[in-house]
Amino acid sequence: MPTKKNFSKNRTLKLVLLFIIGLNIILPVLFFSSAQANPFLQSRSFNQSDLKTSAFSKDSYDPKNNVKEHSLGLINITDIEFQESGFFNNTAKYTNLDDDLETGALVVDYKETEFIETTRIAQKNDLNENVTENMDITILINESLSVQYNDSAEGYLVYLTRLSPCNYEQVFIENSTIPITELNDNEYSIDVIENKEWLVFDFEEYFQNPPYNFTMHLIYSYNLTVTNWRLNQNTEQDLIWDEEESIVSPKFNYEFRINGNKINQSEGKFLNIPADNLLINLSIFLPDKDYLQNHKLEINSNSISVNFLKDNKIVYTKNLIRANNSEIDIEFTANYDLRFVEPVDESWAIDRLVEEQDIRERIYFPYLVSGPQEIYLSEISIIDESVSSYQIEDTYSQFGRAFEFDEVNVTELDEDIENSLVFQANATKRAGIKITLPYMFSGEICPFTIKYETDQDLFVVITDNINMPISGLEVRIYYYGEDYGTYISEEDSQPHGKIFTDENGEILVSDVPNGNYTIEIYQGDTFIKEAEVSAYNDVNYVVTSIIHFPLVILIFGSVFGIIMFIGIIIYRKNKED
């Protein structure tokens, strides 16, 4: 007969068994709820923003200059050296001079030619409408003659300066009885003979009394001409703008020739020839001279290595050079600070869908932040790895500056995609484009657009921890860190609607731009994983840490069976007791 003690013991055993059975039922439920929420993973909140739009206003940008021209700065002459007599024996017209010169009744001696000053410099700056272009340098010269005569002389002096063409500005005379005095216009005359200006002075009329000598100073202006004057950027350099901010240092070649003429007498004719014995010193004011570095100077292909650059960066030809078409070449570099405005990638700022589902526009805002103001930067290249040349349908430049693009091979080592079943350790070659901008001025933002067709698909398969597909997961896609959608920019985006994996754990987004993408995987509101995927891959496999459901059933079934077996043994043992 059961005793009260045995009844109490059996009751306790039954409660223990009921607790074990209940625990086996509750624990899987709790575990699956926990597994679905993934408490072991970091939880992230996601606030979906309102639909954003951003307008690109063409009126917001203006060119600094509408002409593709450099300033050429200024060229000045600081000194000359020339010692050659003019002509005073034009006896073809003044026949009486033959006797005076042959008999010594008139003796004319050339003394010297002196530089006084530069009255007009050469300058060229098409960027400034207030600067008048001038290709001639006008200098003022003093040429001195010593004249002696006697009573038998005809009484007049005829003289033609060697340097030509010239324009007589002033004439001075002096002797022992007369201090230096300027002649009036009616006290001398200019006689044009064969397009040459001869000065005629009637000294006998001017000097009524001895002594029979005087010194004459001829003050005249004389022009030297600058030719082949140009400034070019060295196009052999490959200037690549490959980061959000870059500094480039292109080389420039600045060159010109300087010409002066003089008169030579041949067979009774007076002809103009190069002034090969006229030596000059130049001061060259390069445009934006304070921005320039690494100067090199050559004169007639001879390198000048020292003492040609002043502290204020004026190039000075310390050694006199000949004015017979001498060539001056100056090489220098300049630094330009470049920046892309609000780039999503390192270059482009906006990528937007414009037609159907596969025609997009990519807009760039290159900004030349600082550098020389009057020397434009040209042939600067931008690499875009995520557009291929065959995809491009049209291009547009805000300022009408047509740009070129060429296909380039972009070699990149595929990064290890965490937990990916398809990891390629080999480098893959992909075709990108090199965009070459024609020119930019400092301070300009020069927008341009590429219209292109997308032909890549982003195909992703998401699996659990044993590579079984998972359906119903939300996948959020980011392109260069921004929400992927019909409008992509740093400030505003218009993302796609929510994307969920199908029964095969797959998502397929068609007609996406080339490149790599970041995806975030959510189960409900719980963040599961972030992964890197690529439109270049046929399939992107992403393995998560979500535990496979059948495995859990097997584990808990086994545990339940063991517990039940133990419980039965305990029950029988206690029943026997």
From 326, 349, 371, give the residue that closes a domain: 326
Which residue in the block uniquely carries the two structure tokens 């059961």? 2
pLDDT tens-digit series, residues 446-479: 999 999 999 999 999 999 988 899 999 999 999 9
- In angstroms, the CA 518 to CA 541 distance is 13
pTM for the model stands at 0.77
Residue 332 lies in a domain: no
Residue 90's alpha-carbon distances to 101, 110, 262, in angstroms, are: 11, 16, 17
| 315 and 386, same domain (yes or no) | no
Number of domains in the chain: 3
Q: Nearest-CA neighbor of 200 among 192, 208, 190?
A: 190
From 270, 292, 326, give the residue that closes a domain: 326
More confident residue, 417 or 299: 299
| 355 and 207, same domain (yes or no) | no
Q: Nearest-CA neighbor of 509 among 470, 488, 540?
A: 540
**338 in Cβ contact with 322 (< 8 Å):** no
Residue 49 lies in a domain: no
More confident residue, 468 or 42: 468
From 326, 360, 393, give the residue that closes a domain: 326
Strands 456-463 and 540-543: parallel
| 347 and 478, same domain (yes or no) | yes
- In angstroms, the CA 265 to CA 271 distance is 6
| 106 and 144, same domain (yes or no) | yes
> CATH number of the domain that 467 lies in?
2.60.40.10
| Count of helices and strands (H, E) across the chain | 4, 38
- Give CA angle at 117 (116, 118), nearest 5°: 145
Structural domain containing residue 28 = 4-37+548-576
| 125 and 32, same domain (yes or no) | no
Count of other CB atoms within 10 angstroms of residue 77: 22
pLDDT tens-digit series, residues 59-87: 578 898 888 899 999 999 999 999 999 99
Count of other CB atoms within 10 angstroms of residue 147: 21
| 553 and 532, same domain (yes or no) | no
pLDDT tens-digit series, residues 101-150: 888 899 999 999 999 999 999 999 988 888 899 999 999 999 999 999 99
Residue 549 has pLDDT above 70, yes or no: no
- In angstroms, the CA 275 to CA 353 distance is 68
Percentage of the chain exceeding pLDDT 70: 82
Identify residue 49 by its one-letter amino acid code. S
Phi, psi of 535 (to 5 degrees): -70, -15
Length of the chain counted residue by residue = 577
Helix (H) or strand (E) holding 551: helix 549-576
Mean pLDDT of 565-575: 69
Residue 562 has pLDDT above 70, yes or no: yes
Residue 552 has pLDDT above 80, yes or no: no
- In angstroms, the CA 259 to CA 327 distance is 10
